[in-house]
Structure 1
């Protein structure tokens, strides 16, 4: 028979788990509205910049004092830059590449974390972490090995952007750990503001080189942009709610459902190819991520 404490715990765990899955759902299907905005004339980098500008406006309206913590801790600029690279890489990649391939390469994050934690935090890799790194890299080599390529190397801009985004995500997580003493609202402001500024900066440079068109959007794209902004705000709130109530390893495993949502949605809409090679390589990457989550839960 369940005790009152266990029943209370289960009532808290289910909503927290659903919140994490909701966050994964938003990110897993975000490729579609980003592509819709591009079809309406707005490049994904300009869309990212506008979206995060609106989110920052809301954050400041609700928590204006967050800017005081940001000013008091200038190192948060590094966090903003890392979050910016993450969003630039992922949001651009899913609009120009195979969605499943992009998401799998992005989810090299647990493997990158082994190297990043060693360099930035002085956490020497264990035998288990090195095994996970080898598994993930093996999976990447399988995914990257195209039939018409003699070597398993990135095949285009989408591959490089996805890899950059995953590395940026690993650095972001390391900096969140390193700057954990700073106010949470200020860290949120840094991440949202940095994402918007970095997207605008890269888009502006690309525009001067005639590689990215000037920002413009058909009126039909406005609801899509507003809806995506609201979805990202809700998903971030859900992530904070769920992550505060679940073990780190449990959160990490549930976040892997993003791969499922991205794979199913993109395959149904013809934006990805689920070949045996991609599935095999993806299985190794997911296995490495699951093992990293389990090890995190055990403190290893």
Structure 2
């Protein structure tokens, strides 16, 4: 009798921990993304351009994944090459290539925008991704597009227009290349998420590490292609031994942190309802605002906060509607 009581008392605790730990994993992952812009700016201060910094960090992430998860990655690649999956080898490679392209544009745009622009504005433009997700999910996943989805997307876009509009600039468009990079990164991020979801449905036996490695491999390839369009001054590169050592250590640490952080978020997303995960990820905006204010003194104005409110409300409504469905 006493044993039964003890067993019943442990069940709620186990259930609570199974819900708490994944939520904490997503919360920690969002917090890391909220401050990742600062070490990237440190690399830029050492003379490493934004595109080169993003390429090096993506390369470090790929190397970390290849070393730590080489068995699962090699097994996944062998299964694709042997044509033993639900999709043909051609279709699987095409899906991986599309995911790499979307991930590469996301990484390069995010890194370049946060280094060269006003971080909070770039991040808010990046967080328009739920609006683009609606249309990509309808196009690629054949999800029904109803009036509520369109209204939510329009509310997100209205928030961006409110944030970007000013009498001096006229049309509510991004003010500089950094903000355009943030906007493009958000669009690519939405496409990356939809492609990742389609890949997980079409190829459920492939490990999540393969999707992560594919995204960062795309960051390396797109970064290398983009370096040709960004002039690099050899005089500014950190060739001095102490500075070079510091830059290499910072790059390696960033790669490891991003790889582990992605694994952490994947762990949480697989165990938490999608609507709840979307709410937790909004904490990244709070962390970004606090870190920007503390580290750089950049303080968003009333228009930025108003636009951010529209984007956050749109995300909350999207999560509530999908939960009701």
TM-score of the two chains, using structure 1 as the length reference:
0.91
2:60 and 2:255 in contact (8 A); partners too: yes
Deviation, structure 1 residue 172: 0.6
Match of 1:190 among 198, 214, 223: 214
Whole-angstrom distance in 1 between the partners of 2:17 and 2:104: 36
Whole-angstrom distance in 2 between the partners of 1:262 and 1:213: 30
Alignment partner of 1:267 is 2:298: no
Alignment partner of 1:143 is 2:163: yes
- Note closer, same or farther for the CA distance 1:252–1:70 as it changes in structure 2 (3 Å cut): farther
Aligned match of 1:93 = 113
Equivalent runs, 1:16-35 vs 2, <5 Å: 16-35=22-41
- Note closer, same or farther for the CA distance 1:268–1:37 as it changes in structure 2 (3 Å cut): same
Whole-angstrom distance in 2 between the partners of 1:266 and 1:146: 23
Whole-angstrom distance in 2 between the partners of 1:69 and 1:177: 19
2:126 and 2:182 in contact (8 A); partners too: yes
Runs of 5+ unmatched residues, structure 1? none
Equivalent runs, 1:1-300 vs 2, <5 Å: 4-61=10-67, 62-63=69-70, 64-69=74-79, 71=81, 72=89, 73-75=92-94, 76-180=96-200, 181-182=202-203, 183-184=206-207, 185-203=209-227, 205-207=228-230, 210=231, 212-213=232-233, 216-217=237-238, 218-219=243-244, 220-270=246-296, 272-299=298-325
2:64 and 2:256 in contact (8 A); partners too: no
3-state SS of paired residue (2:229):
helix
2:100 and 2:219 in contact (8 A); partners too: yes
Deviation, structure 1 residue 91: 0.9
Larger radius of gyration: 2
Whole-angstrom distance in 1 between the partners of 2:78 and 2:185: 29
3-state SS of paired residue (1:179):
helix
- Note closer, same or farther for the CA distance 1:271–1:38 as it changes in structure 2 (3 Å cut): farther
2:58 and 2:217 in contact (8 A); partners too: yes
Deviation, structure 1 residue 146: 2.9
Deviation, structure 1 residue 149: 1.7
- Note closer, same or farther for the CA distance 1:23–1:213 as it changes in structure 2 (3 Å cut): farther
1:101 and 1:278 in contact (8 A); partners too: yes
Whole-angstrom distance in 2 between the partners of 1:189 and 1:25: 21
Aligned match of 2:86 = none
Deviation, structure 1 residue 187: 2.0
For residues 139-196 of structure 1, give each alpha carbon's deviation from its aligned partner in whole angstroms, at most 9, with x where no partner exists: 0001111352222111110111011000001111111122223213332221121122
1:70 and 1:187 in contact (8 A); partners too: no
